[in-house]
């Protein structure tokens, strides 16, 4: 082997090992243990010298790369030229461009992802962690590199991405299908006003799901939910000053996002038909705040207030909108909701304890299990 | 339909819009409806509420309605599960319970409720779904009844 500073060699230790037979026994025993650990580890471990040559690799590394340690040592070249010489697109990958080997890591546990080339020529994605090895005077004399094959993780992430796309597509498609079935079924039978109310509600439901799609169905931004619910009207109105929308953003559980979207849609529809949005000078403010509850959750306190519309009278019949808002919403989220038909304009106050993100009812089950 | 007239039904359904639909259907069948949309509220209703039968949506958000089913078994109150996944959507220990396929439809709902209310032998937990309906009320629930907690993920 050519002259090089090698991280496994220590002249002091080498001298000491010759000092007594007892020392020699201990060294042998230590090496046996280390080999047992290294060769049973599932992570691939490479030890590099200061010339980027690999001077040791464990069994997992041999299986990962398709090369034995003897083969790698015999090549007498940087490890990069053996396992990392080509980009996945076929271009040569010079050592100078390599994130792992280009320079010694300055810090412990520098991480990254790369694509290696197997001895049989196939590419495989890996995650690596590189840490420097220093000599007694703190000079960096080598690198220890841990490598994991991340093909499974990459495949799983890809499957999840495909599933999410399929889910988004199906949800939107199903809503569009329901709309079409309703149109075909009630053609010439239902009055057109009812049909357009139905269509608008389907669009509101679809819009609510758009917000969820944007965040992988995990949660939705409160501000986005409010803005999207107002969006058709914002576009329709030249004077965007008709709306005042103010409040801190928060992450909403998907269930809260959908029901709140539908509730806001009903308020919008009512305002456009009878309320402040039915006249040019009418205005609507949607203001909210978040307050800490005793149990550590946050409560959304949202007030919808109409001004400048025609004089309001309490409706004689309560429809879908008021039922959804005043009855279902509190039942679904353990909150409260009130619609006040003030003569100056409708005021709707919603108090919704925000569900901890995670799954709904989890807290209940956990409390029961603890009893 | 007359059999359902004036009967009180506990409806447990966690989606607002779907709950409205199911409630309307039950009311059109002549039932009085108690609605619960959350597991905690439904458990309170199941323990102390006065009703003749119950309709339980299996999936309540990410929780399941099995703890409510257990309370109803104890009280010997007849109930059915509603799920979009059919019998396969119900845990094995609860397969003796009649299943209403979602989306909710009036005729199957009426049919199953009438059967529940006329059948003298309500379903028992862990009953063999192929052995017909058997009754827990004819004797005490055996102490060895499985304490199956399907609601807790393992």
Q: Which of B16, B36, B152 sits opposite A365 (nearest CB)?
A: B152
Q: What distance in Å separates the CA atoms of residue A276 and residue A285, rounded to the nearest whole number?
A: 10
Q: Which of B15, B39, B149 sits opposite A361 (nearest CB)?
A: B39
CA angle A144, A148, A150 (to 5 degrees): 150
Highest mean pLDDT among A202-211, A239-248, A256-265: A256-265
For residues A302-307, give the mean pLDDT. Answer: 96
CB contact at 8 A, B53 and B9: yes
Q: What distance in Å separates the CA atoms of residue A258 and residue A206, rounded to the nearest whole number?
A: 9
For residues A123-149, give the mean pLDDT. Answer: 89
Structure ipTM over 0.95, yes or no = no
Asked if residue A253 has pLDDT above 80, the reply is yes
Task: Find all residues with CB under 8 Å of A243, minimum gap 6, and list them.
Answer: A230, A233, A234, A237, A283, A284, A285, A286
CA angle B52, B55, B61 (to 5 degrees): 145
Single pTM value for the model: 0.70
The gap from C-alpha A121 to its chain's centroid, in whole angstroms, comes to: 34
Q: What distance in Å separates the CA atoms of residue A301 and residue A315, rounded to the nearest whole number?
A: 25
CB contact at 8 A, B16 and B37: yes
Interface test with A, best of B15, B17, B23, B153 (most A CBs within 10 A): B17
φ, ψ at A307 (rounded to 5°): -140, 150
- Pairs from A253-256 (Cβ < 8 Å, separation ≥ 24): A253/A219, A253/A354, A253/A355, A253/A357, A253/A360, A254/A212, A254/A217, A254/A218, A254/A219, A254/A220, A255/A332, A255/A333, A255/A355, A255/A360, A255/B14, A255/B15, A255/B61, A256/A333, A256/A352, A256/A354, A256/A355
Return the pLDDT at A165: 85
Provide the number of CB pairs (under 8 Å) joining chain A to chain B.
64
Return the pLDDT at A288: 97
Q: Two tokens at B138?
A: 């004819």
pLDDT in tens, B70-129: 999 999 999 999 998 888 889 999 998 999 998 899 999 999 999 999 875 556 666 655
CA atoms within 13 A on the CB side of A30: 8
B chain contacts of residue A365, beta-carbon cutoff 8 Å:
39, 63, 67, 151-152
For residues A237-260, give the mean pLDDT. Answer: 84
CA angle B39, B41, B45 (to 5 degrees): 110
A chain contacts of residue B63, beta-carbon cutoff 8 Å:
359-362, 364-365
Query: Could you identify the residue written with the tokens 């949506």?
Result: B57
Q: What distance in Å separates the CA atoms of residue B55 and residue A364, rounded to the nearest whole number?
A: 20
B chain contacts of residue A368, beta-carbon cutoff 8 Å:
67
Under DSSP, is residue B130 helix (H, G, I), strand (E, B) or coil? Answer: helix
Return the pLDDT at A13: 52
Contact A331 B67 (CB under 8 A): no
**Helices A11-19 and A21-40 sit at what angle, rounded to 10 degrees?**
130
Higher pLDDT, A264 or B103: A264
Residues in B whose CB is inside 8 Å of some CB of A read 14-17, 19-20, 35-41, 43, 60-63, 67, 149, 151-152
Share of chain A above pLDDT 70, in %: 85
Contact A369 B38 (CB under 8 A): no
User: How far is the alpha carbon of A165 from chain B, nearest alpha carbon, in Å?
Assistant: 22
User: How far is the alpha carbon of B13 from chain A, nearest alpha carbon, in Å?
Assistant: 9
Return the pLDDT at A19: 59
A chain contacts of residue B16, beta-carbon cutoff 8 Å:
259, 262, 324, 328-329, 331-332
Asked if residue A205 has pLDDT above 50, the reply is yes
For residues A82-103, give the mean pLDDT. Answer: 84
pLDDT in tens, A151-186: 999 999 999 888 888 888 888 888 888 888 888 888
A chain contacts of residue B47, beta-carbon cutoff 8 Å:
none
Contact B17 A365 (CB under 8 A): no
Contact A360 B15 (CB under 8 A): no
User: How far is the alpha carbon of A331 from chain B, nearest alpha carbon, in Å?
Assistant: 6
Return the pLDDT at A20: 62
Q: Which of B20, B36, B60 sits opposite A361 (nearest CB)?
A: B60
pLDDT in tens, A40-87: 999 999 999 888 899 999 999 999 999 999 999 999 999 999 999 999
Model confidence at B152, in pLDDT bands (50, 70, 90)?
very low
Contact A324 B41 (CB under 8 A): no
What does pLDDT average to over chain B?
A: 82
Q: What distance in Å separates the CA atoms of residue B4 and residue B110, rounded to the nearest whole number?
A: 8
Asked, as a colleague might, if the bond just before B103 is cis with ω within 30 of 0, I would say yes
Contact A331 B39 (CB under 8 A): no
A chain contacts of residue B62, beta-carbon cutoff 8 Å:
359-362
Contact A255 B61 (CB under 8 A): yes
Interface test with B, best of A359, A361, A362, A366 (most B CBs within 10 A): A361
For residues A308-330, give the mean pLDDT. Answer: 91
Model confidence at A207, in pLDDT bands (50, 70, 90)?
confident
DSSP H helices, chain B, are 16-28, 39-48, 66-75, 106-118
User: How far is the alpha carbon of A151 from chain B, nearest alpha carbon, in Å?
Assistant: 27
């Amino acid at each position: 082997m050519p002259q090089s500073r090698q991280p496994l060699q220590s002249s002091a230790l080498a001298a000491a090992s010759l000092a007594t037979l007892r020392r020699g026994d201990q060294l042998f025993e230590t090496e046996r243990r280390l080999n047992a650990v290294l060769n049973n580890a599932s992570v691939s471990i490479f030890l590099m010298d200061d010339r980027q040559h690999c001077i040791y690799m464990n069994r997992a590394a041999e299986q990962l790369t398709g090369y034995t340690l003897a083969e790698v040592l015999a090549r007498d070249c940087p490890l990069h030229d053996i396992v990392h010489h080509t980009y996945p697109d076929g271009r040569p990958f010079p050592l100078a461009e390599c994130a792992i080997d280009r320079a010694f890591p300055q810090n412990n546990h520098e991480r990254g992802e790369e694509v290696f080339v197997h001895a049989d020529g196939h590419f495989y994605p890996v995650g690596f962690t590189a840490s420097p090895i220093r000599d007694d005077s703190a000079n960096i004399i080598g690198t220890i590199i841990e490598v994991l094959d991340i093909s499974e993780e990459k495949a799983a992430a890809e499957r999840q991405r495909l599933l999410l796309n399929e889910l988004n597509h199906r949800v939107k498609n199903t809503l569009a299908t329901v709309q079409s079935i309703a149109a075909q079924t009630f053609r010439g039978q239902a009055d057109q006003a009812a049909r357009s109310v139905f269509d608008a509600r389907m669009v509101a439901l679809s819009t609510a799901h758009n917000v969820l799609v944007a965040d992988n169905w995990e949660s939705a931004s409160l501000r986005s939910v409010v803005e999207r619910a107002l969006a058709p009207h914002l576009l329709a109105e030249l004077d965007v000053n008709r709306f005042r929308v103010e409040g801190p953003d928060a992450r909403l559980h998907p269930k809260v996002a959908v029901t709140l979207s539908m509730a806001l849609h009903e308020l919008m529809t009512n305002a456009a038909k009878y309320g402040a949005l039915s006249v040019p000078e009418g205005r609507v403010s949607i203001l909210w705040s978040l307050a800490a509850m005793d149990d550590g959750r946050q409560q959304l306190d949202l007030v919808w207030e109409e001004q400048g519309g025609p004089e309001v009278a309490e409706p004689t019949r309560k429809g879908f909108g008021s039922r959804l808002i005043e009855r279902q919403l509190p039942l679904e989220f353990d909150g409260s909701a009130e619609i006040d038909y003030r003569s100056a304009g409708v005021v709707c106050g919603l108090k919704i304890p925000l569900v901890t993100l995670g799954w709904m009812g989890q807290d209940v089950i956990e409390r029961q299990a603890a009893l | 339909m007359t059999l359902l007239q004036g009967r009180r039904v506990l409806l447990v359904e966690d989606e607002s819009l779907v709950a409205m639909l199911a409630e309307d259907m039950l009311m059109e069948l002549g039932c009085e409806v108690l609605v619960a949309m959350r597991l905690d509220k439904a458990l309170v209703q199941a323990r102390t509420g006065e009703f003749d039968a119950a309709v339980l949506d299996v999936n309540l958000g990410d929780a399941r309605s099995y703890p409510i089913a257990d309370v109803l078994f104890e009280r010997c109150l007849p109930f059915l599960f509603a799920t979009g996944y059919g019998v396969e959507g119900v845990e094995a220990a609860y397969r003796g319970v009649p299943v209403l396929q979602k989306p909710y439809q009036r005729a199957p709902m009426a049919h199953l409720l009438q059967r529940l209310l006329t059948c003298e032998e309500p379903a028992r937990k862990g009953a063999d779904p192929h052995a017909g309906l058997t009754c827990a009320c004819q004797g005490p629930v055996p102490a060895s009844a499985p304490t199956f907690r399907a609601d807790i993920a393992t």
